[in-house]
Amino acid sequence: MFQRFNFGEYRSLPVPARFGRREKTSNTVLLILIGFAVYSIITNALLSAPVSTALSVAGLVGLAVSGLLSRVGLHTAGRVLMLLISNLLLFVSCYFEDPVGNASLIMLAFVGLPFIVFSWRENQKVVMGLSVLPLILWNILLITNYGNGAYVEIDVETSKAFSYWHSFLVFVFLALEFGYFDFVTHRYYEALRQSLSAEKKAGRAKTAFLSSMNNELQTPLNTIIGGAELLRNHPDATADTLRLATYIGQAGQDILSLMEKSLSYASISGGEVNVTLRHEDPMELISSVLDQSKDLVQSKNIHIDTTRTCFDLVLADSRMFKEALSQLVDNAAKYSPENGKIRIVVAHGLDHKLRISVKDNGPGIPRNKREKVFLPFERLEQSLGTEPGGGIGLTIAKAYVEAMSGDIGISSCADGGAHVWVELPIADN
């Protein structure tokens, strides 16, 4: 029932083989029904019931055709034919046996078969139709009173002799159906549990690896960045040297930023997001973020204007808040032109939340692509551009904001540019 797919050299996850399971189950049900058809042919022939025998033979032929359809790949048609033939022929045959034989009760066991041989998510209408069909046919038998006994071939005494056997068959059918449902559910649960366990182990291993690499690379990167800073401050540095040192320092900072973002993204994708909510002053956190981004802002001579109309505190994790807002400010600075302007507005939001808006005068984000920017590694038209980045900054920001029970989104900017906002719950006094 389950196959194992390799998702990397460090793990192999069990995945339910849905289609194989349904085909195997359908074949099993088909073999059981063929066995009943053969049994009916022999029994009706011995009881000298020619019409009932003919119906059983027709059922056997129909089931054989159903099997052939499945063999050539027409699985849905084969399953539908199998269930239709079983229901309709059993329905007709009930008119040729006295009602005391309880043969019609067998139809009730066919209510659950469509759920076994079909997928509910993929064939809802078919499953519902084939599940309701035996109930409809059973009620027709009751309403017509089995044709008032006009077509009975098997006498009352013989029918009575088979009544307990028919009741037993219904009980066995239903018990097997419930048992199979429980079996499949348990197997899927076990596969899901193993998959989640393996995924968590892989996530922890990935995070540990990235953390180790981050620590190993920070020392040489800091040396490169520090060396570039010394070159820029050297009194005898030429213009070319200063320009080269600036490029080296900026490239080192970009690599360092990418490493930190990769580590954050690995922690998020591994489900390791630990939140500590406290009452925080948003302006203090914003000031801290602006201090971290001042080099990028100053290099492009960008003016930042901060406006506050809401003086409430927010319920937030200071580390997550600063990292999420830092992604927004960095993006605004990256895509703003030289001598551009960034506006940060702190105001009341919706549903007792405080909204921090970051607006720039860059190229902006098209309305039909705003949802995509929060997807990992999605950089839209910038994928072939010159701006550095890995396309996971807004993904990290969204994960952190939502972990703090907040919201993040993009709105239209009247004078162009991008307008990204974050809403966090206002802290109660």
pLDDT at 261: 67
158/78 Cα distance (integer angstroms): 35
pLDDT value for 13? 41
Provide the 3-class DSSP secondary structure of residue 235: coil
Check if the beta carbon of residue 163 is closer than 8 Å to that of residue 114.
no
Question: Considering only CA atoms, which of 251, 260, 242 is closest in space to residue 224?
Answer: 251
- Angle at which helix 18-46 crosses helix 50-71, to 10 degrees, equals 160
The answer to whether 288 touches 322, Cβ cutoff 8 Å, is yes
CA distance 100 to 103: 8
State how beta strands 314-316 and 407-411 pair: unpaired
**Is the separation of the CB atoms in 186 and 179 below 8 Å?**
no
- How many other CB atoms are there within 10 angstroms of residue 219's CB atom? 9
What is the model's pLDDT at position 387? 56
Sorted by sequence, the CB contacts under 8 Å of residue 407 that are 6+ apart come out as 353, 401, 422, 423
pTM over 0.75: no
Instruction: Characterize the bridge pairing of strands 314-316 and 353-360.
Output: unpaired
- Report CA torsion sign: 361, 363, 365, 366: positive
Give the Cα separation of 140 and 205 in Å (integer). Answer: 63
Residues of the chain with pLDDT under 50: 1-19, 383-386
